Structure 1
Amino acid sequence: MAFAPPQRLVRALGETAPDGDDWLEKLPEAAQQAVALRELTVERVQVPGGRSSLVVLVRRPDGSPAVLKLAPPRARPESERNALAHWGGTGAVQLLDEPTVEGVLLLERLHPDVSVRSLPEAKALLEAAGTLRRLWVEPPGDHPFETVAERTGRQAEAMRGASADAAVLVSGALEARAELLVAPPEQRLLHGTFRQSKVLAGERAPWLAVGPDPVVGECAFDLARLVRDRVEDLIASPSGAATARRRVKRLAESLDVDPERLRGWALFRAVESGVRALRVGRAKDAELLLEFAGWL
């Protein structure tokens, strides 16, 4: 079977590819080797798929369904492996036993076309938040994960070169980050890129998280990305700003998070994403994100 990467993946990786990167070119061969090594039967490549990895629906030699995932080093697949192993299937997709090959994961098969985002908004937020709570555990001792301070430090450096149009928001976001890092209330293993589309229907549990980019830090950082889910609907609504602020309060209360800390991280993460979208030419996405950030 030919393993042509979906166009969504090609576009997304093209935005961040360092000079000389040839991961996409080598992907078909790497996928063939991964399938042969595990004696898998391929059903299909998941389309449109994600923005950072190739996802292939497969069956193991015993006929059981699974998912083969291949990701480039910049997507930190080994960090994902470590986090999934630590969670052990609690709240997240199960990592299956396999020959360990860097950048290749064999995972429990969920229902790839059924995410929490398919539910009505209020129910989706409730189910997503409940899933996220299960992931917030103590990190392993001497853990290998990036911290919130480290990740946002890199992001903050990139934000400082933003266009003049975003300068006020960038300044506010950087100030919020500096204040939030002074005395974080807890240190937990976080999903890192959590949103409604990252929660899929499963068999052994109704909903399980997928695709973590794990980081260690305070829970409000993890919840902040969920605050802006369905941002396009919020922006289109006459009451979008008020709805966004109510969402911050409601999510903070439901997960025992300080609402001001959640608001601060939601601001930083929205501005960071908006500035990054501007940098790679996604003007429409940037406009939505920065308008949302202005409401906070």
Structure 2
Amino acid sequence: MGFEPPERLVRALGETYGEAAGGWLGRLPALADEALSVPGHEVLPERVVAPGGRSSLVLLVHRPDGTPAALKIAPPAAGPALERAALAHWNGWGAVELLLPGDRAALPGDALLLERLGHEVSLRSLPEAKALLEAAGTVRRLWVGPPPGHPFETVVERTGRQAEPMRAAAARDEALAPLVTAALAAREELVAQETESFLLHGNFRQSKVLSGGRAPWLAVGPEPLTGERAYDLARLVRDRVEDLIASPGGAVTARRRIRKLADSLEVDQARLHGWTLFRAVESGTRALTAGRRREGELTLEFAGWL
């Protein structure tokens, strides 16, 4: 199948993996052809989803019986095996369904064959209050116990890895030091007291919840890990950050979101506040390091409100 990877994917992978991204992108058409033609599970390509995501290629396809599906291909470093394990464990409950479960899920090229969702319609299409309500109902379904012997890292492990790049960013730009210091202090306090361990989406936000047929809304694109639920909600708090920053009442709205989400999903408000601060500062410093200055500045301004 001849195609050009979406520019958004090319740019994002270059920022994340540097020169190594070019090698994988060069092999991508061959990987797609191989995944499309697995004996006994051949699928017919329809089109590439564009602009698509930042970490994988998604092809809209049809199975031999005409059933629409989506073929997702991601570089090994993006963790497609972990995504497969999480989706298999959720088994369609609150999340997109893996169409080839078990041993058959090991398609070549780290590909996943998924049920077709409405890729053009996410929760971001809804008014804010309704979107948050539907998001809360969706993420609640994902919070289950992890499977025995699971391969997922913990919140403590993931955030520990993220701490050093945050310190490095603060060392390069002393203006970041107060926020980075506060975020790292919040993390230390949070991980010292963590008591629960659920399977988490890891990157849950409104754009990761798409319209479906068998359920109104289903989550996609997990970066799964295990730990406390407050961590999983923290990214959701800063959704539509551009609108928040532009609003004269943005800071009040952000703090209100923390209260409402904590109350509706029965998580500790102070812990949600702490993880929201840490994740915003981590995301903001990472965006600045990658050269996405506007994104980084907006996210760090949001963090300053907290």
TM-score clears 0.5: yes
The answer as to whether partners of 1:3 and 1:31 remain within 8 angstroms in 2 is: no
Report the Cα distance in structure 2 between the residues aligned to 1:164 and 1:28, rounded to whole angstroms. Answer: 44
- What residue identity is the alignment partner of 1:63? G
* Bigger proportion of residues as helix: 2
Taking structure 1 as the reference length, the TM-score comes to 0.98
Q: Which runs of 5+ in 2 are unaligned?
A: none
Q: Which residue is equivalent to 1:109? A: 116
Aligned counterparts, 1:84-233, within 5 A = 84-97=87-100, 98=104, 100-101=106-107, 103-162=110-169, 163-233=173-243
Which whole-Å deviations, capped at 9, do the CAs of 1:80-101 have from their partners, x for residues lacking one?
Answer: 0000000010000000114513
Q: What letter is aligned with 2:207?
A: S
SS at match of 2:124: helix
Q: Residue 43 of structure 1 aligns with which residue?
A: 46
- 3-state SS, counterpart of residue 80 of structure 1: helix
**Secondary structure, aligned partner of 1:161:** helix
Report the Cα distance in structure 2 between the residues aligned to 1:79 and 1:36, rounded to whole angstroms.
23
Kindly provide the CA deviation profile for residues 32-61 of structure 1, in whole angstroms up to 9, marking residues without a partner as x.
111122321111100010000000000001
**Counterpart residue identity of residue 274, structure 1:** G
Aligned partner of 1:14: which letter? G
For the residues of structure 2 that align with 1:99 and 1:61, how far apart are their CA atoms?
Answer: 17
- Summarize deviations over 1:178-201 as a string: whole Å, max 9, x none: 000012131000000000000001
Q: Corresponding residue for 1:16? A: 16
The answer to whether the 8 A contact 2:105-2:112 is kept is no
Q: For structure 1, which segment, 99-108 or 212-221, has the greater mean C-alpha deviation from structure 2 after superposition?
A: 99-108
Which is further off, 88-97 or 35-44? 35-44
Distance 1:12 1:20, change over 3 A: closer
Q: Which runs of 5+ in 1 are unaligned?
A: none
In structure 2, the residue matched to 1:254 is: 264
> What is the DSSP-based 3-state SS (H/G/I as helix, E as strand, rest coil) of the residue aligned with 2:193?
coil
TM-score, length basis structure 2: 0.95
Of 17-26 and 251-260, more deviation after overlay is shown by 17-26
- Pair 20,225 (structure 1): closer, same or farther in 2 beyond 3 Å: closer
SS in 2 for 1:160: helix
Q: Which amino acid aligns with 1:282?
A: R
Counterpart Cα distance in 2 of 1:207 and 1:20: 35
* SS in structure 2 of the partner of residue 177 of structure 1: helix
SS in 2 for 1:113: strand
How far apart are the structure 2 equivalents of 1:110 and 1:185? 35
2:279 to 258, 269, 290: 269
SS of structure 1 residue aligned to 2:145: coil
CA deviation string 1:107-139 (max 9, x = no partner):
011111111110000000000111000000000
Alpha-carbon displacement from aligned partner over 1:244-269 (angstroms, at most 9, x marks no partner): 00110001101001011000000000
Could you tell me which amino acid in structure 2 is paired with residue 32 of structure 1? Answer: D
Q: Cα 1:257–1:41, aligned 2, differ >3 Å: closer, same or farther?
A: same
- CA positional deviation for 1:228: 0.1
* Aligned residues of 1:72 and 1:103 also touching (Cα < 8 A): yes
CA contact (8 A) 1:267 1:293 kept: yes
For residue 34 of structure 2, what is the amino acid of its counterpart? Q
Total equivalences in the alignment: 296
Per-residue deviation, 1:20: 3.8
After the TM superposition, which segments of 4 or more aligned residues of structure 1 sit over 6 Å from their partners? none
- Give the Å deviation of 1:67: 0.3
1:61 paired to 2:52: no
